[in-house]
Structure 1
């Protein structure tokens, strides 16, 4: 027994000495417990066992149990949404109901229906509505799919769908407006406004409701006259709400030219709605209209039309349009935030974007879809894509919400009443400043 104990003691001593002298990389404070912990950590590490990162299964994202969703859909996108929701249900097991709410009304409706928990879980918004809704805590950030969205979307779309450095949107489409023309009536597409005026002398017949051209008289469209001569909405690329350039010399010059066009487009702003404009164009009573890709679906099959860039202004000035980005967003009051985010992300995949293009003629914000030959070579959308090169995003700062009402009133006065342009714009800018001040208080 003594010999056995002595032999064990000797072996133990030799093991201790050998472990102290070798494999310690000259570190003096290694302990047996530390070695055991290191070995356990190494055995759990994928790299230690030569397992690649892709072989490590990440937790699968799943919707909440019992999740059911509602989405607000503009009538122009209804067919697309109807076509993809069954695929979403098959893949994730979530039922989604549709409520038709036109895009211009969704932001305002969310303000009232969100807190009352009556709003849709997912909705679509133009980017200029984002800031107001974020400040009101009505939208959830795009956090679960942030990196995926940034990698797959155009950079301008990501910027437009973010506020204060945080991504909220799931970008669906980029858009601006162009010159729609009836091919049966317009044989040579005008490249300048002078050519439009010349055409009007042979075509206009207001007594029989025949008009050369029409467009909705809001700031979105009328920016094409204000900005080419040096006018602007807000300074610093639309980010400085204290610097308003709607009444500077350039803006006044552009709006005087705008006012002169009433003779070739003699429809008062109060008598022109989107539906009236569409009816005139599809019935052959309106030769040209200034519109956006959202209307292509409504015109297809009713009129043979093309789209061209906007006509140049006098002095060789390009008509500069405002651009928009429409994105899906998730209502902060949703009961199923994970499922809602999954739906929004599903709707902007490359596959969904291409289907949206085919059914609703949108120009996708998805980079891969945007480069697809079906879009790049499209004979109708190419005019919008060309005009997009001469466009900039509509400002999305909170002060933008105070611009629409005063400018609508200004255009009505300038167009319908032939009011003095400079005096009207001065009054308009002061109204915007007053509204900004009252909100700030």
Structure 2
């Protein structure tokens, strides 16, 4: 794509990263979203600054729930202990360097596992829908969710607010940033016109897109300019801590082995060390099988 369409430094870093593949930029980041911490304002009067504090508060106020078997929700635990899914350097993912079985990952799994083993907040069958329902009905004090949850909670009359995620291991908690990206077909005869349209969209339509669908702009200046509520302010802060999930096609081989072994760990059938070993082995085997026909 033409370099003059936009400058990387003018946009959320995670959104820009999502527009690159093999070191080359292919699209325009339009809007961004991520998870953050929802809390019941009737139960919680002072927000915990760290995960350790959150667990102690949650123990007294009904707990915290989220789909803890999903890599989507667990990325921040891995990153807090300096682990990763695939090593990312110089605009590329090294899918042969899998971080899910390393010593740092074991520390992350050990922390997550205490939510099941020590606090009984999490079970292997809790899904995002289950967690949201329990929060909506006042059963739990905390829930990890996204902007897509707000309308439903408001309609249900749930007393809630949204905050950035608490720190873990002295670090800001990383959440996956989803980015709506604008592309132009390489076969299009009107590429220049479409890129100009995207430029116009970014410069003139941020408030309209936010007002119409709650889409948070990826452009940093537009984030400052839009008229936004406190929940959006919290999501914008959390987005600044986030990163995209790997855009490599091999990411498709991560979801099932990760979820299956986390559920076994929550059920007490494997240890965090065993879960780490099995996840990395199964992901590597899946990638080998995927690429064997290439």
SS at 1:277 equivalent: helix
Q: Could you say which residue in structure 2 is the equivalent of 1:292?
A: 146
The Cα of 1:342 is off from its aligned counterpart by: 8.4
Q: Give distance in 1, aligned partners of 2:165 and 2:221.
A: 27
Larger radius of gyration: 1
Q: Give distance in 2, aligned partners of 1:416 and 1:329.
A: 44
Q: Could you say which residue in structure 2 is the equivalent of 1:224?
A: 76
1:366-404 deviation per Cα after TM superposition (whole angstroms, max 9, x unaligned): 3442220524xx422222222333323322122222111
The answer as to whether partners of 2:34 and 2:235 remain within 8 angstroms in 1 is yes
Q: Could you say which residue in structure 1 is the equivalent of 2:205?
A: 352
Q: Which one of the candidate residues 89, 105, 115 is aligned to 1:251?
A: 105
The within-5 A match list for 1:24-173 is 147-148=4-5, 154=11, 156=13, 157-164=15-22, 166-173=24-31
Q: Give distance in 2, aligned partners of 1:245 and 1:158.
A: 23
1:133-185 deviation per Cα after TM superposition (whole angstroms, max 9, x unaligned): xxxxxxxxxx5x87435589626334412334554434222233221111122
1:215 partnered with 2:66:
yes
Distance change >3 Å, CA 404–CA 185, structure 1 → 2: same
**RMSD, aligned α-carbons:** 3.2
The answer as to whether partners of 1:319 and 1:390 remain within 8 angstroms in 2 is yes
Q: Could you say which residue in structure 1 is the equivalent of 2:218?
A: 365
Q: Could you say which residue in structure 1 is the equivalent of 2:96?
A: 242
Distance change >3 Å, CA 381–CA 155, structure 1 → 2: closer
Unpaired stretches in structure 2, ≥5 consecutive residues = none
Distance change >3 Å, CA 149–CA 189, structure 1 → 2: same
Distance change >3 Å, CA 366–CA 200, structure 1 → 2: closer
Q: Could you say which residue in structure 2 is the equivalent of 1:437?
A: 288
Scaled by the length of structure 2, what TM-score is found? Answer: 0.81
Q: Could you say which residue in structure 2 is the equivalent of 1:307?
A: 162
Unpaired stretches in structure 1, ≥5 consecutive residues = 1-142, 205-211
Tell which deviates more after alignment, 256-265 or 385-394. Answer: 385-394
The Cα of 1:418 is off from its aligned counterpart by: 4.8
Q: Could you say which residue in structure 2 is the equivalent of 1:277?
A: 131
The answer as to whether partners of 1:268 and 1:416 remain within 8 angstroms in 2 is yes
Q: Could you say which residue in structure 2 is the equivalent of 1:65?
A: none
Q: Give distance in 1, aligned partners of 2:81 and 2:23.
A: 32
1:189 partnered with 2:47:
yes
Q: Which one of the candidate residues 219, 239, 248 is aligned to 1:388?
A: 239
Scaled by the length of structure 1, what TM-score is found? Answer: 0.57
Q: Give distance in 1, aligned partners of 2:285 and 2:185.
A: 31
Q: Give distance in 2, aligned partners of 1:201 and 1:401.
A: 35
The answer as to whether partners of 1:347 and 1:353 remain within 8 angstroms in 2 is no
Q: Give distance in 2, aligned partners of 1:182 and 1:169.
A: 38
Q: Which one of the candidate residues 268, 275, 280 is aligned to 2:123?
A: 268
1:408 partnered with 2:259:
yes
1:202 partnered with 2:52:
no
The answer as to whether partners of 1:320 and 1:390 remain within 8 angstroms in 2 is yes
The answer as to whether partners of 2:61 and 2:140 remain within 8 angstroms in 1 is no
Flag the structure with more relative contact order, 1 or 2, with Cα contacts below 8 A and sequence separation at least 6: 2
SS at 1:230 equivalent: coil
Q: Which one of the candidate residues 176, 198, 201 is aligned to 1:322?
A: 176
Q: Give distance in 1, aligned partners of 2:139 and 2:200.
A: 37
Q: How many residues align?
A: 285
Q: Give distance in 1, aligned partners of 2:76 and 2:249.
A: 22
